[in-house]
Amino acid sequence: MVALSTEDEDFNFDHGYTRGTIQYALSLKDPYSTNSTSDGKSDSNFLKSDNNAKGSARLAGTPSTKPVLKKFYIYWY
């Protein structure tokens, strides 16, 4: 899996990722690209896992994110 000069997170599990393995993920970051910001500072991340981004009552107390992640690489060019 490849993420190239993303605007926000490169790999994001906002609504859960319950099964499976992601192996060999590559992030290529362009230092001149625009990024999302909070208070004037970049809030872009390599990896973000919220499990339940919207706070849904249906998922409350239920772990819905349990990925197996192997060999993730990040490079700035």
Query: Would you put residue 62 in left (φ > 0), alpha (ψ -120 to 50) or beta?
Result: beta
- What percent of the chain stands above pLDDT 90? 13
Q: How many domains does the chain have?
A: 1
Domain hosting 34: range is 2-76
Single out the residue of 46, 56, 45, 43 nearest to residue 15, CA to CA. 56
pLDDT-derived band at 61, boundaries 50, 70, 90: low
Single out the residue of 47, 52, 49 nearest to residue 62, CA to CA. 52
- Do 3 and 27 form a contact (C-beta atoms < 8 A)? yes
Give pLDDT, residue 8: 78
pTM for the predicted model, two decimal places: 0.65
